Chains A and B, each alone.
Chain A
Amino acid sequence: MGSATSEASALPATRTPLGDAAETGLKIVVVGGFGVGKTTLVRSVSEIRPLNTEEVMTQAGIGVDDLGGVAAKTTTTVAFDFGRISLNERLVLYLFGAPGQERFWFLWDRLFTGTLGAVVLVDTRRMDDSWYAIDRLEHHGTPFVVAVNRFDEDTAAHSLDEIRQALALPEGVPLIECDARVRTSGKHVLVTLVDHLYHMALAQESAS
């Protein structure tokens, strides 16, 4: 257990356990390209310092890495961060920052089944990174909102209309600006997502 022990010491000295009445865990996923601010967003709203964990997947040819025709099994390790918000005595929400790169989505599919919804975090300087994430979410029928992280005085700003067009976002998908470093802004992103989910559920309930 040598390595585990040394790593454990890097975690906060004091854990904050959940209350004993906690009974239902919920999930929201934050997806986006490398460096877009996923962990920053998670940290800004989380009641615990974001923790990091990982999954080791053994996959026979995921179809991304060119193995030159060798049908080898590859082991891929994907790390992800998460934070926690106790919503009330019974409900606890976990926020996962998930790598959006194409080669990680097989993991996303498996790990994040049963999520309430997703936040796609966008950096306008690297909008390409967002397309694949949006495509996968639509394919899965996972509801999502898109939040443009306006950090670094992003003054060369594209308007939200331009971004909606560039991402080919349907009108029904909420698109907002945020500053992932700011708690109230991160909170607003989550409220926007859940409000969107609520209205979708409402429409569905009244239709049935």
Chain B
Amino acid sequence: MTRKPVDTGAPDRLYTVTGGRSRADDSFDLVTLVVSECEPTAGMQSEHVRILDLCRHPTALVELAAELALPITVVRILLGDLHATGKITARHPRLGQSAAAHPDTTLLQEVLHGLRNL
């Protein structure tokens, strides 16, 4: 799979999407599941509209990035906007941002069970 999803030749476009910001909200992990809490409204930025549409069901940040064909950082910024205004909620991963956080046996048993049932 060598397809390039993002037109990185046009960084201007990415700046437009984020209103010139390049610092993202790091609280959104790649696998944070995002859920819309409202319908898109008229006049909303098109990327915000698409996120609210996609997140009618829980959707991971990384899937949003792939669907929107935008880099992770840009999607984090967009999610930060929506989160700050209560338009989305976030289900963060249990293991969180700490590399030292080891999963417990109960969780791993659940994972094993799920994998064996594949």
Interface residues of A (CB under 8 A from B): 1, 3-4, 7-8, 10-11, 15, 17-20, 22-27, 39, 45, 50-56, 58, 75, 77, 79, 81-82, 84-88, 91-94, 96, 111-116, 140-142, 183, 187, 190-191, 194-195, 197-198, 200-202, 204-205
B75: nearest chain-A partner, CB-CB: A53
> How many chain B residues touch the partner (CB < 8 A)?
59
With A17-B57, A20-B58 known as contacts, the answer to whether A194 contacts B111 (CB < 8 A) is yes
Which of the residues B58, B109, B115 comes within 8 Å of A187, measured between beta carbons?
B115
Question: How many Å lie between the Cα of A83 and that of B110 in the bound state?
Answer: 19
Interface residues of B (CB under 8 A from A): 1, 3-8, 10-11, 13-14, 22, 29-33, 46, 54, 56-60, 62-63, 65-73, 91, 93-105, 108-116, 118
Q: How far is the CB of B82 from chain A (nearest CB, A)?
A: 18
**For chain A, what secondary structure do more than half of its interface residues adopt (helix, strand, loop), or is it mixed?**
mixed
Please state if B71 and A54 are interface contacts (CB–CB under 8 Å): yes
Residue numbers in B under 8 Å from A88 (CB-CB):
110, 113-114
Residue numbers in B under 8 Å from A55 (CB-CB):
71-73
With A17-B57, A27-B93, A81-B1 known as contacts, the answer to whether A198 contacts B63 (CB < 8 A) is no
